[in-house]
């Protein structure tokens, strides 16, 4: 390690004031602090010791929590592909196929995002922040497998610049950056991120007869329109291929969808890591699922169509609800920041997701819009919690 | 009506280097200093002596032009050897070379039975012990012209490696009670003595008369007087209360009973890098070199006057702070660590459990150095400060109000209730490594002076 340290030391003068790459000082510091935790010490006054956890470690914890979803996503993309074209292949082939379609998305997301971030850091002379470690992974996981890479790049640039940097960088953004990227694509290029055709990567093959690439949400929605019981429609869908939308299949995630969102189980594994490490708020996760379930029950009460009448527990495993609640809603910067506020925020995300799913004909997936909407409303929720705290203090004074 | 309060929030930092409850011997310190910077809120310090003057213990050497009744006295007799100034002639230290045998100014004993409040205040203010009385809000030296709603004394220190107050004050029972008696004359309200409810209460506190004894238990900051006030009778806008440390009470008692300024106190020598640890009797403002030099386990160390959360870095030849009962010596952390943000470890102390931070598995003591373990960042993680601040306060919002210099928000969110030490744990656990104690002081100064 001494060699690496020496290497850093030898190029250091170039980045210092007066050096030829002075402008890129922040890049130098950024890379050095990734390789080596810095030699900074506490100030003369104040806390003389500091906790060993820093933001880098917090962020890498979230990335690690997403790895199960990523690995499963890779397998599932391969699985769905060979299912659609009717070929029987080994899991290794499926994994290789999945990796070939997923990794470029991941690499583009990280490369373009980091480049954008670095550019901003250099222009504004900010230290490089570790926030993009998480965002880069999130953006990749919420993309459909078929997405053109230039669109990933464009969405990433849009999200990082408009979603984050214009507000002042990491910690200052109002909207969840990854959701901003996805929303951008959804409204700018809907053909590549919605409908029945984009969720299964066919490559140059054609699907076998009778195979449908529709997502569970689309099937359930259509059941509502056609008046077929939703559970029946889900059970019959692709049943001939052994790929029906049973609760178990959807829970495990062997269904079409965005790269990382399909498996509720993997999201829950992530949730366990995040809650155990204390990095994400368990209140948001619990109230998010709770809000979705309760709204499912409320929908049952009205039951104006078959989708509304669907058993509420199915909502929890369909679409991206679990992924969104666990990884998107819990982003501490864009979520509610008061402890009471987190209950309300999570609950409303869950509830809104179901409302959007069931009642919006244009777009059956609700979690994206629910998270973005609640991101905007989170400060309002906090406002009232903070106000209550102030009122308690004020009342005490007059007593 | 004594209260029993159990606090559930907080965090005990289990550091290596605790002082055994025994006195250790050292050569007495030779030089002593009074540091105007110790007295928070001192605006225009004015020195009353010149280099070369001889003083007795109790000779006035300093006062604040903004509050000139309060005199700051020489802790020892001897010769003023240096008046050290910093940038813009800021007064830093007044150093005194002590006589072998200390001679005292006669300040006159105080008969608490007959003395009226005004005379008592005047005697305490000119008797050198007044700076032990701290005003809340703001945590500054109290103004003798004020009358507080109540006086609070925290009888235990829950900071890391903090001295045991019962041990430190052994044999001072008479002075302590006399100090309490004097304090009860200063307020129409109550004098609260807050003891550690989780341990056997030392007799000196258990037997204290004329005060309300409250019991607090829980992790640090249960011993912080600010936290205690919050649970007894929180400070609102317009309220004024005073706080005194137990050793401050003893100092007041000594002035009352002896009529002299006896600034001697027992301090704890702690920290993983000291070879000989324990308690030692010295005098306020003592040079620490006699305790530290030749008593070290390693070379690259930091000497701290006070504890590791609220103390101040001093040099090996530095001086003990006026309010400090403790010297802590820990390793300096000026090293780079390869992938230090990623490597798992049970030895790195952390309040968090983020990936690889396994210190919660380690029930032993931690040797912690001064490395910040990361760079400063904007606030990202939420809900952490709340876990270590056992008060009905929203710390993140308060901090942001201070950053934004929003005066109304600062008031409404409770800046009157806290001072630096109350957010010291927040500063420790903050993954974004912000200097929150400094921030709180900045906010307080904004409220005080504008």
The verdict on a CB contact (< 8 Å) between B313 and A44 is yes
Number of domains in chain A: 2
- Least trusted range by pLDDT, from A17-21, B87-91, B112-116, B424-428: A17-21
pLDDT at B183 over 80: yes
Q: What is the pLDDT of residues A140-183, one digit of tens each?
A: 999 998 889 999 999 999 999 999 999 988 888 999 999 999 99
In a domain, A48, yes or no: no
Instruction: Indicate whether A193 and A218 sit together in one domain.
Output: no
Q: Which residues of A touch B397 (CB under 8 A)?
A: 337-338, 382, 386
In a domain, A24, yes or no: no
Nearest chain A Cα distance for residue B64, angstroms: 22
In a domain, A289, yes or no: yes
Instruction: Indicate whether A372 and A236 sit together in one domain.
Output: yes
* CB-nearest partner of B374 from A54, A277, A333: A54
A positions 293-322 inside 8 Å of B (CB):
none
Instruction: Indicate whether A247 and A343 sit together in one domain.
Output: yes
Q: Are B75 and B284 contacting, i.e. CB atoms less than 8 angstroms apart? A: yes
Residue finishing a domain among A201, A224, A242: A201
Instruction: State pTM to two decimals.
Output: 0.92
Q: Are A112 and A156 contacting, i.e. CB atoms less than 8 angstroms apart? A: yes
Instruction: Indicate whether A296 and A325 sit together in one domain.
Output: yes
Instruction: Report the pLDDT value the prediction gives residue B64, as an integer from 0 to 100.
Output: 93
Please give the DSSP secondary-structure letter assigned to residue B276: S
Instruction: Indicate whether A189 and A249 sit together in one domain.
Output: no
A positions 100-129 inside 8 Å of B (CB):
127, 129
**pLDDT higher at A397 or B18:** B18
Q: What is the pLDDT of residues A78-127, one digit of tens each?
A: 998 888 888 888 999 999 999 999 999 999 999 999 999 999 888 888 88
> Chain B contact for A276, CB < 8 A?
yes
Q: Which residue of B has its CA nearest to A342?
A: B383
B210 pLDDT band, cuts 50/70/90, is very high
Q: What is the pLDDT of residues B132-165, one digit of tens each?
A: 999 999 999 999 999 999 999 999 999 999 999 9
Mean pLDDT, residues B394-407 taken together: 95
Measured between alpha carbons, how far is B441 from B138 in angstroms, rounded to an integer? Answer: 8
Instruction: Indicate whether A67 and A113 sit together in one domain.
Output: yes
Mean pLDDT, residues B27-53 taken together: 93
Instruction: Indicate whether A103 and A229 sit together in one domain.
Output: no
Please give the DSSP secondary-structure letter assigned to residue B332: -
Q: Are A333 and A388 contacting, i.e. CB atoms less than 8 angstroms apart? A: no
* CB-nearest partner of B373 from A48, A52, A273: A52
Smallest CA-to-CA distance from B236 within B50, B81, B392 is with B392
Degrees, nearest 5: CA angle A294-A297-A302: 130
Return all residues near A55 (Cβ < 8 A) that are at least 6 apart. A129, A130, B374, B377, B380, B381, B431, B432
Instruction: Indicate whether A191 and A242 sit together in one domain.
Output: no
In a domain, A7, yes or no: no
- Least trusted range by pLDDT, from A21-25, B268-272, B334-338, B401-405: A21-25
The verdict on a CB contact (< 8 Å) between A55 and B429 is no
Q: Which two tokens stand for residue B46?
A: 């004015």
Measured between alpha carbons, how far is B208 from B246 in angstroms, rounded to an integer? Answer: 12
Instruction: Report the pLDDT value the prediction gives residue B355, as an integer from 0 to 100.
Output: 86
Instruction: Indicate whether A267 and A338 sit together in one domain.
Output: yes
> What separation in angstroms does the CA of B318 have from each of B88, B95, B161?
21, 11, 20
pLDDT at A362 over 80: no
Q: What is the ipTM of this complex?
A: 0.91
Q: Are B342 and A37 contacting, i.e. CB atoms less than 8 angstroms apart? A: no
Residue % of chain A over a pLDDT of 70: 98
Q: Which residues of B touch A332 (CB under 8 A)?
A: 380-383
Strands B60-64 and B67-73: antiparallel
**pLDDT higher at A18 or A387:** A387
pLDDT at A196 over 80: no
Instruction: Report the pLDDT value the prediction gives residue A399, as an integer from 0 to 100.
Output: 60
The verdict on a CB contact (< 8 Å) between A33 and B310 is no
| Phi and psi, residue A302, nearest 5° | -80, -50
Q: What is the pLDDT of residues B89-98, one digit of tens each?
A: 999 999 999 9
The verdict on a CB contact (< 8 Å) between A129 and B349 is no
Instruction: Indicate whether A137 and A245 sit together in one domain.
Output: no
Domain that holds residue A136: 56-201
The verdict on a CB contact (< 8 Å) between B373 and A172 is no
pLDDT at A63 over 70: yes
The verdict on a CB contact (< 8 Å) between A53 and B357 is yes
In a domain, A66, yes or no: yes
Nearest chain A Cα distance for residue B122, angstroms: 31
When computed from its CA atoms, the radius of gyration of chain B, rounded to whole angstroms, is 21
Return all residues near A387 (Cβ < 8 A) that are at least 6 apart. none
In a domain, A251, yes or no: yes
Nearest chain A Cα distance for residue B251, angstroms: 26
Instruction: Indicate whether A77 and A197 sit together in one domain.
Output: yes
Please give the DSSP secondary-structure letter assigned to residue B348: S
A12 pLDDT band, cuts 50/70/90, is confident
The verdict on a CB contact (< 8 Å) between B338 and A171 is no
State the average pLDDT for chain B. 93
Measured between alpha carbons, how far is A81 from A95 in angstroms, rounded to an integer? Answer: 11
Q: What is the pLDDT of residues A35-62, one digit of tens each?
A: 888 889 999 999 999 999 999 999 999 9
Residue % of chain B over a pLDDT of 70: 100
Instruction: Indicate whether A246 and A377 sit together in one domain.
Output: yes
> What separation in angstroms does the CA of B428 have from each of A122, A138, B435?
30, 30, 9
The DSSP string of A231-284 is HHHHHHTTGGGT----HHHHHHT-S-SSTTTS-HHHHHHHHHHHHHHT-S-HHH
Instruction: Report the pLDDT value the prediction gives residue B206, as an integer from 0 to 100.
Output: 92
The DSSP string of B66-122 is TEEEEEEE-SS-EEEEEEEE-GGG-EEEEEEEEPSS--B-------TTT--HHHHHH
Instruction: Report the pLDDT value the prediction gives residue A124, as an integer from 0 to 100.
Output: 86
The verdict on a CB contact (< 8 Å) between A51 and B414 is no
> Chain B contact for A332, CB < 8 A?
yes
Measured between alpha carbons, how far is A92 from A77 in angstroms, rounded to an integer? Answer: 12
Tokens 């504008």 locate to: B450
A positions 62-101 inside 8 Å of B (CB):
64
Q: What is the pLDDT of residues A376-393, one digit of tens each?
A: 999 999 999 999 999 999
3-state secondary structure (DSSP) of residue B239: coil
In a domain, A26, yes or no: no
In a domain, A151, yes or no: yes
pLDDT at A263 over 80: yes
């Amino acid at each position: 390690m001494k060699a690496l340290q020496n290497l850093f030391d030898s190029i250091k003068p170039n980045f210092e004031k007066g050096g030829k790459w002075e402008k890129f000082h922040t890049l130098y510091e950024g890379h050095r602090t990734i390789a080596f935790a810095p030699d900074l010490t506490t100030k003369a006054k104040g806390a003389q010791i500091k906790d060993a956890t820093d933001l880098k470690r917090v962020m890498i914890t979230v990335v690690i929590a997403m790895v199960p979803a990523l690995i499963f996503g890779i397998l599932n993309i391969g699985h769905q592909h060979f299912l659609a074209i009717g070929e029987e292949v080994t899991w290794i082939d499926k994994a290789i196929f999945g990796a070939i379609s997923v990794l470029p998305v991941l690499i583009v997301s990280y490369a373009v995002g980091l480049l954008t971030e670095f550019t901003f850091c250099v222009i504004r002379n900010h230290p490089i922040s570790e926030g993009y470690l998480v965002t880069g992974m999130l953006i990749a996981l919420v993309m459909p497998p078929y997405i053109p890479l230039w669109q990933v790049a464009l969405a990433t640039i849009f999200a990082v610049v408009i979603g984050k940097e214009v507000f002042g960088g990491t910690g200052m953004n109002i909207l969840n950056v990854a959701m901003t990227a996805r929303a951008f694509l959804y409204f700018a290029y809907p053909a590549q991120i919605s409908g029945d055709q984009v969720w299964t990567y066919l490559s140059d093959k054609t699907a076998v007869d009778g195979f449908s690439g529709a997502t569970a949400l689309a099937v359930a929605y259509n059941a509502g329109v056609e008046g077929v019981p939703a559970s029946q429609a889900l059970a019959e869908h692709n049943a001939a291929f052994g790929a029906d939308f049973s609760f178990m299949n959807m829970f495990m995630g062997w269904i079409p969808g965005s790269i990382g969102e399909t498996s509720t189980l993997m999201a829950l594994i992530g949730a366990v890591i995040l809650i155990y490490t204390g990095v994400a708020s368990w209140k948001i996760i619990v109230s998010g699922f709770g809000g979705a379930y309760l709204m499912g029950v409320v929908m049952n009460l009205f039951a104006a169509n078959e989708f509304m009448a669907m058993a509420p527990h199915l909502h929890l495993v369909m679409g991206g609800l679990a992924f969104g609640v666990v990884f998107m809603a819990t982003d501490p910067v864009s979520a509610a920041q008061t402890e009471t506020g987190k209950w309300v925020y999570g609950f409303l995300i869950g509830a809104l997701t179901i409302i959007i799913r069931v009642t919006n004909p244009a777009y059956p997936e609700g979690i994206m819009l629910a998270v973005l909407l609640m991101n905007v409303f989170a400060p309002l929720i906090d406002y009232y919690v903070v106000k209550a705290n102030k009122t308690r203090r004020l009342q005490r004074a007059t007593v | 009506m004594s209260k029993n309060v159990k606090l559930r929030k907080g965090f005990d930092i289990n550091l290596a280097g605790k002082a055994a409850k025994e006195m250790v011997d050292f050569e007495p310190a030779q030089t002593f200093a009074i540091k105007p910077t110790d007295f928070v809120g001192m605006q225009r310090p004015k020195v009353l002596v010149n280099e070369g003057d001889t003083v007795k213990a109790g000779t006035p050497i300093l006062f604040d032009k903004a509050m000139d009744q309060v005199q700051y006295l020489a802790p020892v007799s001897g010769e003023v050897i240096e008046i050290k100034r910093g940038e813009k002639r800021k007064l830093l230290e007044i150093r005194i070379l002590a006589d072998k045998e200390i001679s005292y100014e006669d300040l006159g004993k105080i008969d608490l039975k007959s003395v009226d409040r005004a005379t008592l205040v005047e005697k305490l203010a000119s008797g050198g012990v007044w700076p032990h009385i701290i005003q809340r809000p703001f945590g500054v030296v109290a103004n003798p012209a004020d009358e507080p709603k109540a006086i609070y004394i925290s009888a235990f220190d829950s900071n890391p490696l903090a001295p045991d107050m019962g041990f430190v004050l052994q044999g001072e029972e008479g002075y302590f009670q006399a100090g309490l008696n004097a304090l009860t004359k200063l307020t129409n309200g109550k004098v609260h003595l807050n003891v550690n409810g989780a341990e056997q209460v030392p007799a000196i506190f258990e037997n204290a008369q004329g005060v309300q004894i409250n019991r607090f238990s829980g992790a640090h900051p249960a011993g912080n007087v600010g936290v205690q006030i919050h649970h007894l009778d929180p400070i609102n806008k317009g309220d004024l209360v005073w706080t005194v440390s137990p050793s401050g009470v003893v100092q007041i008692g000594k002035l009352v009973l002896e009529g002299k300024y006896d600034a001697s106190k027992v301090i704890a020598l702690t920290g993983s890098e000291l070879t000989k640890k324990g308690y030692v009797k010295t005098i306020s403002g003592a040079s620490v070199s006699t305790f530290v030099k030749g008593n070290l386990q390693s070379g690259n160390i930091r000497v701290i006057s006070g504890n590791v959360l609220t103390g101040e870095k001093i040099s090996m030849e530095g001086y003990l702070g006026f309010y400090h009962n403790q010297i802590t010596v820990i390793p300096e952390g000026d090293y780079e660590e390869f992938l230090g943000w990623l490597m798992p470890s049970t030895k790195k102390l952390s309040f968090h459990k983020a990936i690889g931070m396994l210190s919660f598995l380690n029930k032993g003591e931690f040797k912690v150095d001064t490395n910040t373990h990361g760079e400063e960042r904007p606030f990202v993680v939420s809900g952490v400060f709340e876990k270590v601040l056992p008060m009905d306060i929203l710390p993140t919002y308060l901090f942001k109000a201070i950053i934004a210099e929003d005066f109304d928000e600062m008031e409404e969110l409770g800046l009157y209730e806290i001072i630096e030490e109350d957010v010291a744990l927040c500063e420790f656990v903050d993954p974004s490594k912000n200097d929150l104690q400094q921030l709180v002081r900045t906010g307080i100064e904004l409220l005080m002076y504008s």
